[in-house]
Structure 1
């Protein structure tokens, strides 16, 4: 196995850990953790998205212009993220939450600021490994 494959496997393992923690947080009704983990998983999904390919003229559906039919037509291509990419996304998520928490404190919204800081704490240990 090459280093890139190992890094991608590590990224998949981290995503699986986030999903496992999300299920546990949902079961224990930890709303802050659920919000943070869902947001982080969505950020990872968004980062994996690639630009949709142009459809070939002959590969379109006769009923809807610009649509494809056939085997694999509903599958979306995804970018393979490295563990570094995923950790960088998680660090960005925690930084955003802390920045907004400081802003909320300045506006007197201490409860909302506290919620954002708790969300950042949930993601911290995953971001740093």
Structure 2
């Protein structure tokens, strides 16, 4: 049971990170105010509001995470490593279950 939880935790953490990245505002869109604030790194670099994601955006990000895992598993199987393909397949199943259990309102 613990091994199964590790797969769930890994899949969910990765999906949360992908959602966090999707909320990030591209560097070119950040407001610039002055000398230090114009630097790509340093003081003021993280002082930008995050983008809000719609339900459709969130669903699309999670679906992309599923697709990436399915593709990774296919590559591993094609390379003759079926045992290594089990983990991304299991993570894809976890995320699919999440998507299926969440009502979709188009």
Root-mean-square deviation (CA, aligned residues, Å) is 2.6
5+ residue gaps, structure 1: 1-24
Q: In the TM superposition, what is the alpha-carbon distance from 1:66 to its structure 2 partner?
A: 6.5
Which one has a bigger Cα radius of gyration? 1
* Inter-partner Cα distance in structure 2 for 1:124 and 1:115: 14
Distance 1:79 1:107, change over 3 A: same
Aligned match of 1:82 in 30, 35, 54?
Answer: 54
1:13 corresponding residue in structure 2: none
* Inter-partner Cα distance in structure 2 for 1:44 and 1:37: 10
Determine helix, strand or coil for the equivalent of 1:55: coil
2:43 corresponding residue in structure 1: 67
Stretches of 4+ aligned residues off by more than 6 angstroms: none
2:33 corresponding residue in structure 1: 56
Q: How many residues align structurally? A: 95
* Inter-partner Cα distance in structure 2 for 1:66 and 1:90: 31
* Inter-partner Cα distance in structure 2 for 1:125 and 1:84: 17
5+ residue gaps, structure 2: none
TM-score (norm 1): 0.62
- Native 8 Å contact 1:55 1:66 kept in 2: no
TM-score (norm 2): 0.74
- Native 8 Å contact 1:88 1:127 kept in 2: no
1:32 corresponding residue in structure 2: 7
